[in-house]
Amino acid sequence: MMKISKIEYYLPQQVLTNEDLEKQFPEWSSERIQEKVGISQRHISSDSETVLDMAVQSSEKIFENYDRNKVDFILFCTQSPEYFLPTTACILQDRLGLRKNIGAIDFNLGCSGFVYGLAFAKGLIAAGIAKSILLVTSETYTKHIHPDDKGNRSIFGDASASAIIEKAEGNDYQFCLGTDGSGAENLMVKKGAFKKDFELNPEHEFGPENIYMNGPEIFNFTIENIPGLVKETLEVNSMTMDDIDHFVFHQANSFMLNYLRKKTKIPVEKFYIDMEKTGNTVSATIPIALKNMMDKGMLKEGDKVLMAGFGVGYSWGATIMEI
């Protein structure tokens, strides 16, 4: 078994409020945005601020109370890497002053990234490759959003979260992972890598360098797949809904989460929603939620938490961890 020993996160200083959006889009009131997505503000990285800069900030918070020399592997999840090459995780090792005899690798995943990172960490620990893993999820989706895209600007925020994953005694919980690349174009930035002969979706209002999200299709994908993911995760771990103390899903938007909660019949008191002050921070939403729950005293030793991430790819994953 493994455990999450520590979590810290960093939010950029610049804040975009619903009132700010209302000034640019008068047809959208701040109250309507709050009601629609459950978000009142989101943090926006500055023009010169990157996922690496934010990762340093969240990781240094970890090392205020954890010996950085214990870290023997870095897993860095981002879809906004510092460069095509080299790997951002390698630069992070140097920026943090970590040992040189450690592993470091990037992986490109979005909303399911934290759960996938935990799965990778489990494999590294089980294989005896690593004992203390720094798992970082850092994202700057807002840099992809067109200034006139009021829908995506109301949802996404930037953030970085860092966690220490270590071996622990206890139950060995299993993962359920899934992929359906047929939905790739429903959340995509078409320009920026080596694909040159792209065509824009007819409904794409902005340029190929801007993020495009087909909200209804993303919603349908989520509703069709995630209830089954929860059921499968409970079954492979020989558990029932009653055995779980908390359910923490990727914080996409409050409407989707409440719909999922009702569809999966999760008791409201077990279901945590926390995105009002941060927005959808992609791969960082689950660790941010967990950290906030810890700080509020909501998690106690022995609690079992079912985490589920889902979105861009399409990609999804879930597991159970014991606090």
Catalytic residues: 111, 250, 280
Q: How far apart are CA 63 and CA 20, in angstroms?
A: 35
Q: How far apart are CA 184 and CA 209, in angstroms?
A: 16
Q: How far apart are CA 307 and CA 289, in angstroms?
A: 10
Question: CA-based angle 78:65:71, to the nearest 5?
Answer: 50
Residues in a beta bridge with 138: 160
Structure letter (DSSP) for residue 180: -
Q: Which two tokens stand for residue 162?
A: 């860092």
Q: What share of the chain is helix, strand, coil (3-state, %, to 5)?
A: 40, 25, 40
| Amino acid of residue 107 | F
* Beta carbons of 165 and 5 less than 8 angstroms apart: yes
Q: How far apart are CA 313 and CA 131, in angstroms?
A: 30
Q: SS3 letters for 261-301?
A: HHHHCCCHHHEECCCCCCCECHHHHHHHHHHHHHHCCCCCC
Structure letter (DSSP) for residue 8: E
Give the strand pairing for 246-249 and 304-311. parallel
